[in-house]
Structure 1
């Protein structure tokens, strides 16, 4: 069957969480009146892709992962007015519907319909089997099709590489600090996990005017980059981490702690590194079977705030212009976060590096964009 699925492209397809992904030919669904078809120019390899590929997060298969991307519109639907062929765009993995209760409360990042299209086939494989877009975007491919509302135009003076990282890592990490937790100037901040999101959180703490920023990671090789991006201290992730963080924060603990890993263990660690009355923010995405326990007494006694963070509380149309300004004026250094590059067939190797705690962000350029 090819009716309604006419454009054929190369894509990296996940068929099993036990096997590597392979590049295959798929047919994208035709562009509807409100859709755009986008040629992927650069896409980041994110920890969420690792969680999907390993089965930590549920994903209907077969699927094309990838959600942090910048590309160029090659076709726009008849009802699309704000985008046209040739426009560079950032792709959004949460697309607010505009009419649910969360959207009505001005919380578009919590839209109940924002990720629904991830469960809808967006392509067919060579045998006619439906293929699903990982986290709604499916950017580990030469092209993808998304609603026009999921594409935000990029100004000419913002590089494609920087724009791609704004699709997830940077807006999540910076937004966790500046919007979700609302870090105040003069505060102390500890960030657990110095991957792409964690280093973005470090930069967000600097932007917020935090005077003590502590980076924590199992890989000491990340200390130098963390310092370059705004961390005043680096603490290895080991049995002495909590004690070291308390020593750097007047023995109280940090005003704000950000867990950019998302496991039960690191959530408890972030909680324990937070002072009484402080805020611990969970940014990383963990598995639903990974349970975190708190005693009733400690919740009362420490009077801490524990808050979850989805996509850095991003309102794309309102917030992205501010990120563009941060890049223009040198307040955000995104190029330093890119530690690798490759093509579609290199994604699995990038995921292995990420799982081992090495590297920050690999930017993949599909062959058709090279």
Structure 2
């Protein structure tokens, strides 16, 4: 399938939009037509040497769209399903995936290369982070998409691909916030705003947002922060202790 994609040809060079050929999906692969793609700071990490990208590579790791084609062994989605693309790879075969911990998948930390397309001269093109969403079509494993029956627009839905779920992981998976807890959120930008909302969902009764920018403090309060602090006004730790009875 011919398509266009943003390809990083080499480290140190700017990505360029190229005409490429999407590879044929394997038994457990799906082809997704993205409706919206999230741009994240993580994508910039792929521009320099490391495990995220192996040039030539299609950049991007977050998206929402519609399934167009499925491999013969796919059982989780069918053409026409709206899906959110997982922001990290899940091979479905390694020790971590087998035990239900795909966030530790070997492809993330061992820098595995997954080819999804070819250049006109036949050179294989990999997917940054095993995902590669800056393209007109995405070749993904079925484990890497989640069917979401919803009326949300793709430009909102794609935020679940990375940022919003990062906040959920921080609140529910790492901090394990529960009913009656007190939470301090340092930085109330995009991720911090989602953390505030997730802390509300988890049942926190006191949510302190620490943020130097006035407009972000105001937004955090609107999202559910019970207290907002400007670090320029004094020792933040002491002020949090005052708010929480020590």
- In the alignment, the residues of structure 1 paired with residue 66 and residue 76 of structure 2 have an alpha-carbon distance, to the nearest angstrom, of 14
Confirm or deny: 8 A CA contact 1:188 1:249 kept in the other structure. Answer: no
**Is the contact made by 1:214 and 1:245 (CA closer than 8 Å) also made in structure 2?**
no
Partner of residue 65 from structure 2, selected from 48, 60, 71: 71
User: TM-score, normalised on structure 2?
Assistant: 0.85
**8 Å CA contact 1:90, 1:154 repeated in 2:** yes
Q: Secondary structure at the match of 2:60?
A: coil
Match in the other structure for 1:247? 239
Gaps of 5+ in 1: 1-6, 254-274, 276-370
Question: Deviation digits for residues 255-291 of structure 1, max 9, x if unmatched?
Answer: xxxxxxxxxxxxxxxxxxxx9xxxxxxxxxxxxxxxx
- Secondary structure of 1:119's aligned partner: coil
Partner of 2:6: 12
Residue of structure 2 equivalent to 1:313? none
User: 1:117 Cα deviation (Å)?
Assistant: 8.2
Q: Match of 1:190, SS?
A: strand
CA distance in 2, matches of 1:91, 1:116: 21
TM-score (normalizing by structure 1): 0.59
Distance (whole Å) between structure 1 residues aligned to residue 117 and residue 197 of structure 2: 38
The answer to whether structure 1 residue 42 and structure 2 residue 36 are counterparts is: yes
Q: Which residue of 2 aligns with 1:155?
A: 149
The question of whether the paired residues in 1 share the 8 Å contact of 2:92 and 2:143 is answered with no
Partner-residue secondary structure (3-state), 2:106? coil
Distance 1:108 1:190 in 2: 28
CA contact (8 A) 1:173 1:201 kept: yes
Q: Per the alignment, do residues 120 and 107 of structure 1 end up closer, same or farther by CA in structure 2, a change over 3 Å counting?
A: closer
Q: How does 1:1-370 map to 2 (within 5 A)?
A: 7-53=1-47, 58-98=52-92, 100-113=94-107, 119-236=113-230, 243-250=235-242
Q: Deviations over 1:113-144 (max 9, x none)?
A: 46778512221233433322112111111111
Q: Output the CA distance in 1 between the equivalents of 2:110 and 2:68.
A: 24
SS in 2 for 1:201: helix
Find the residue that maps to 1:145 and give its secondary structure.
Answer: strand
Whether the 8 Å CA contact 2:211–2:229 is kept in 1: the answer is yes
Report how far residue 12 of structure 1 moved. 1.4
CA distance in 2 between counterparts of 1:27 and 1:78 reads 21
- Name the SS of the counterpart of 1:122 in structure 2: strand
How far apart are the structure 1 equivalents of 2:65 and 2:190? 20
Q: What is the RMSD of the two structures over their aligned residues, measured on CA atoms?
A: 2.9
How many residues are aligned here? Answer: 246
**Counterparts in 2 of 1:198 and 1:251: CA distance versus 1, 3 Å:** closer
Asked whether the 8 Å contact 2:11–2:55 carries over to 1, the reply is no
Deviates more, 1:28-37 or 1:91-100: 91-100
CA 1:215–1:96: 2 relative to 1, 3 Å: same
Q: What SS does structure 1 have at the residue aligned with 2:172?
A: helix
- Give, in whole Å, the separation in 2 of the partners of 1:73 and 1:28: 15
2:52–2:111 CA contact under 8 A, matched in 1: no
